[in-house]
Chain A
């Protein structure tokens, strides 16, 4: 190695953020752009339906659902914190609660859709409201599904006991995704159930 390239006196001034966090942030930026477009479409078509039903007629506030999903952001934080301390048992507990809360949210969305489709006759074909509602809420729900699958894989590792303290950073990266899914719900909730109703 030549002398000029490796100047030993040079201090290492680099501060490199963790790769996982940066990569996940990139994904979150891209996903935010996708959600933005769906939200814009929702707002753009608000009240432009050629026929009913309208949001005011059929939508009910999914309060319990929302509480479940949002509190799962807290429980996943607790889980990651526990893993950082090396407490695998407590991690497993909080992680399982997170999954349960997410699953409950998904079930709630399923019930809501079942009610809308069977009782209110609103499908994605019915009108512009149906089109934008099912696609925006569905896009979010599909992200919950992906998140849950990822959480379940980690859960499986946790149950088999192969999850160790050194994996805390990876669990943290996954938790960022989960926080993102929750944050998007806040926006979807505001747009669909508050502004849109």
Chain B
């Protein structure tokens, strides 16, 4: 379209020159990445780091699934199994989910609001390296976790590490210490980066971009980062207390000396529940960019979408104890948290309807990013509905800590978040590298992952209903869980194969992928107005916008958006 031609003139040439790097050797190249403060490089490093740990956590998941494929299996000893589910959960939440969402925020937010970098580039690098260091600390426990007592190796306390299982008496050695430190350090990194993104969005939007003209991705990342500030800090505080307990003998969670196991649960879930929304709101953000472009329509109900996101963020801060329906709270508390939990369903439903409204009357193009987005809508719908079941407290007394819960939150974390991360990778890969990912391999990846996902996680609801608790390393043959678990495990294998296609696609397309040009999807937000990959300074001239879709205005000068907004 005509917009593409126009914007080419902005800055194509200089970026080609600087990328040529004729006499740079490989060490200079590595060095330039290690010391970079550029938001795009840091964003890509966040994403690569997240994908690396996605593979690690995925391998752990596969080993867990092999052990559970048949009853009374002896593939893994119980201690090793317990370490794997602890490491799998911790890795996927803190070292896959968080880096990936911050990677996308880092890369995209400045480009979409027409800024040249984040507000504090060096703080950005600091936050990234803290996250890296946290991950290394966690995995160092495999080497250093034994400590003087020779117990431990990797942590085996579960990802929410209920007290007093984490007390010195029950968790010897240093594995739990590495778990605490890894999360504490990466949490500080998250807080630093969140403060950075908030500041960038509030202070560095380009001319004309009022808050109501910001792309939804920026809005949702703003809200997500606000939640990080409020919700990650309680975890930091609780981890400090736990460290004090373990190292200087205080009694916060020491039940032998009057400490409370329940207090840890509250502190953890005050973090833990909003954390789910911290991870899923960026997935919403990607959906809110991809679905309009591939439906060829403006987002339906922009102000409602912003409002619903704010409502989710607000309500999600008051639902944490629905993770604790079984701990013997009063019937009043149980009722309160059941009600507040179901209330979250309302803004969430509104969002799904708005995405549907965006597709309604459009011309849907089924490129890989859109395929993942449609699957996301479907899966997120189911995740929300099973969430309502779990929110009905008495129903939860049965389902809590069963495989039904595992199926439910994997529908959120994999079926919604990972699917949208994949969509985001296919959508912005051409912007970041200048080359498109292969659609053929992408479709293989999509269909395999979709089939594997549904084999595993649809089936997984059933053993939960049949009484199978989570975190058991084996089970008796007479419970009737065997066949179902076998199907789950086979599905995990299919997902693993699907992921191999993603990795192949990335490696092949980096060299041989079709050249993307500035704007391969015929999209509307500012990042598509600059070259692919963008030059270090993003925009030769800081753009000025008049509507939420500045490139639409260029492409349709006779019928621009700002007439209607």
Contacts and interface: CB of A to CB of B under 8 A. Distances in A.
Q: Tell whether any CB of A sits under 8 Å from a CB of B in the complex.
A: yes
B140 interface: no
A4 B195 contact: no
Interface in B221-267: 229-234, 236-238, 240-241, 244, 248-252, 257-260, 263, 267
B233 A37 contact: yes
B120 A26 contact: no
B329 to A, nearest CB: 15
A10 to B, nearest CB: 5
A135 B250 contact: yes
Interface stretch (B31-39, B204-212, B290-298, B401-409): B204-212
A50 B258 contact: yes
A128 B251 contact: yes
Contacts, number: 143
B543 A6 contact: yes
A2 B234 contact: no
Given A22-B198, A23-B120, A131-B251, A7 B557 contact: no
B199 A26 contact: yes
B194 interface: yes
Contacts of A38: 237, 241
Contacts of A22: 119, 198-199, 202-203
A48 interface: yes
A160 interface: no
Nearest to B560: A4
A36 B235 CA distance: 12
Given A34-B236, A124-B244, A10 B204 contact: no
Contacts of A7: 208, 544, 546
Residue of A22, A35, A50, A131 with most chain B CB atoms under a 10 A cut-off: A131
Contacts of B560: 4
A127 B258 contact: yes
Interface in A20-73: 22-23, 26-27, 29-38, 41, 44-45, 48-50
Nearest to A26: B195
Interface in B176-206: 191, 194-196, 198-199, 202-205
Which size bracket describes the interface of B in this complex? Answer: 35 or more
B156 interface: no
A175 B120 CA distance: 19
A1 interface: yes
Nearest to B554: A4
Contact of B229 (A17, A26, A35): A26
B135 interface: no
Given A2-B7, A5-B544, A37 B230 contact: no
Residue of A2, A13, A16 with most chain B CB atoms under a 10 A cut-off: A2
A12 B545 CA distance: 11
A12 B3 CA distance: 24
A118 interface: no
B430 interface: no
Contacts of A124: 244, 248-250
A5 B208 CA distance: 10
A49 B250 CA distance: 12
Interface string A81-99: 0000000000000000000
B543 A5 contact: yes
Contact of B232 (A27, A30, A127): A30
A42 to B, nearest CB: 10
B198 A49 contact: no
B541 A6 contact: yes
B550 interface: yes
Contacts of A18: 203
Residue of A10, A18, A30, A34 with most chain B CB atoms under a 10 A cut-off: A30
Nearest to A126: B251
Given A13-B210, A14-B207, A19 B119 contact: yes
Contacts of A6: 541, 543-544
26 contacts: A5-B545, A6-B544, A7-B208, A10-B544, A10-B546, A13-B208, A14-B208, A22-B203, A23-B195, A26-B229, A30-B194, A33-B231, A33-B233, A33-B234, A34-B236, A34-B237, A35-B237, A36-B237, A41-B241, A48-B258, A49-B258, A50-B257, A125-B251, A127-B257, A131-B250, A131-B251
Interface of A: 1-2, 4-7, 10, 12-14, 16-19, 22-23, 26-27, 29-38, 41, 44-45, 48-50, 124-125, 127-128, 130-132, 134-135, 139
Closest 9 CB pairs of A and B: A26-B195, A33-B233, A37-B237, A2-B6, A131-B250, A125-B249, A22-B199, A34-B237, A30-B229
Given A5-B529, A30-B230, A132-B252, 8 more contacts: A1-B10, A4-B557, A5-B554, A14-B207, A23-B123, A33-B234, A34-B233, A50-B257
